[in-house]
């Protein structure tokens, strides 16, 4: 890893593209796995299943990786601006490659208009992560931001179960509570800490204004998603729509909940 790090730091753009291609290879390989019949019967569901499968791989890889960096090197949590390790830098490089790949998949498959929220999220993440890779600043901040990928595991599983039409299963019921817990702990609290750090140290942070705007936009998006999650999975008055949204039709609305 020590021998690889100088190459990554010397050519961060090319390194991100390589990582992006590796995730694209994973996308191809995952297509060989069996999928539920209801998913295969609908083109949009098929694409979304493949897209989520790659996202799940990214989350399973980067979530534990980010937590490991924080546990092994506690300074990651306290010095978001300047602290960096070879493993942290590589993590940010790998994750940036995924977001580039995913944005390309959304756009090139013609789903950009219906997925504009994801593209906005990806654009914000990509520019922040590329800034960290090129300047070698905020690498620790990017690592902490990737704590949210722990929650993404349950989020992706939730949506894949909805794609398969098994919202009434025990697995979905268990996962919705696990998803709520990880959303609060690894997404909301993480976002709150990042916001506090930027506001508290705003006067001396490099490009603090740009990062503050980005984090505020992300805050709004995360709170909206949290409301949608609660509305879809926990509000009793919304239960009747669950059965309709889970039916085998071409509606895409349930995918936004």
Structure tokens at 227: 């409301």
Q: Please report which helix (H) or strand (E) contains residue 171, including its range.
A: helix 170-182
Which whole-number Å values give the CA distances from 134 to 139, 149, 157, in the listed order?
10, 23, 33
What pLDDT score was predicted for residue 10? 80
Question: How far from chain centre, in Å, is Cα 79?
Answer: 23
**Residue pLDDT tens, the chain, 257 long:** 656 677 677 889 999 999 999 999 999 999 999 999 999 999 999 999 999 999 999 999 999 999 999 999 999 999 999 999 999 999 999 999 999 999 999 999 999 998 999 999 999 999 999 999 999 999 999 999 999 999 999 999 999 999 999 999 999 999 999 999 999 999 999 999 999 999 999 999 999 999 999 999 999 999 999 999 999 999 855 455 444 444 444 445 445 56
What pLDDT score was predicted for residue 9? 76
Distance between CA atoms of 235 and 231, rounded to whole angstroms? 5
DSSP one-letter code for 11? -
Distance between CA atoms of 133 and 128, rounded to whole angstroms? 9
Taking a C-beta distance cutoff of 8 angstroms, is the pair 163, 49 a contact? yes
Residue reference for tokens 């997925």: 115
Handedness of CA 113, 19, 257, 216 (dihedral sign): negative
Cα–Cα nearest to 65, from 146, 185, 7 = 146
DSSP one-letter code for 110? T
Neighbours of 137 (CB within 10 A): 19
Q: DSSP characters for 111-140?
A: -TTTTHHHHHHHHHHHHHHHHHHHH--SHH
Cα–Cα nearest to 146, from 81, 57, 69, 54 = 69
Taking a C-beta distance cutoff of 8 angstroms, is the pair 189, 75 a contact? no
Cα–Cα nearest to 92, from 64, 130, 59 = 130
Helix axes 86-108, 12-30, angle to 10 degrees: 60
Q: How far apart are the first and last CA of the chain?
A: 41
């Amino acid at each position: 890893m020590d021998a690889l790090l100088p190459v990554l730091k010397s050519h961060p753009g090319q390194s991100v593209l390589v990582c992006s291609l590796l995730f694209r290879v994973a996308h191809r390989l995952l297509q060989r796995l069996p999928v539920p019949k209801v998913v295969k019967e609908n083109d949009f569901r098929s694409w979304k299943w493949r897209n989520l499968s790659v996202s799940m791989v990214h989350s399973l890889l980067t979530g534990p990786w980010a937590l490991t960096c924080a546990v092994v090197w506690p300074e990651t949590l306290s010095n978001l601006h300047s602290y960096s390790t070879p493993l942290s830098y590589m993590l940010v490089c790998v994750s940036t490659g995924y977001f580039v790949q995913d944005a390309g998949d959304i756009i090139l498959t013609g789903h950009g208009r219906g997925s504009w929220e994801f593209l906005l999220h990806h654009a914000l993440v990509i520019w922040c992560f590329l800034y960290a890779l090129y300047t070698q600043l905020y690498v620790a901040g990017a690592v902490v931001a990737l704590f949210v990928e722990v929650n993404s595991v349950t989020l992706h599983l939730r949506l894949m179960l909805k794609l398969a039409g098994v919202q009434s299963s025990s697995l979905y019921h268990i996962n919705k509570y696990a998803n709520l817990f990880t959303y609060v702990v690894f997404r909301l609290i993480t976002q709150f800490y990042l916001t506090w750090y930027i506001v508290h140290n705003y006067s001396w942070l490099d490009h603090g204004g740009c990062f503050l705007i980005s984090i505020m936009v992300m805050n709004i998006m995360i709170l909206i998603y949290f409301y949608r999650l609660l509305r879809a999975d926990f509000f009793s008055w919304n239960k009747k729509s669950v059965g309709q949204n889970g039916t085998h039709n071409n509606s895409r609305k349930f995918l936004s909940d």
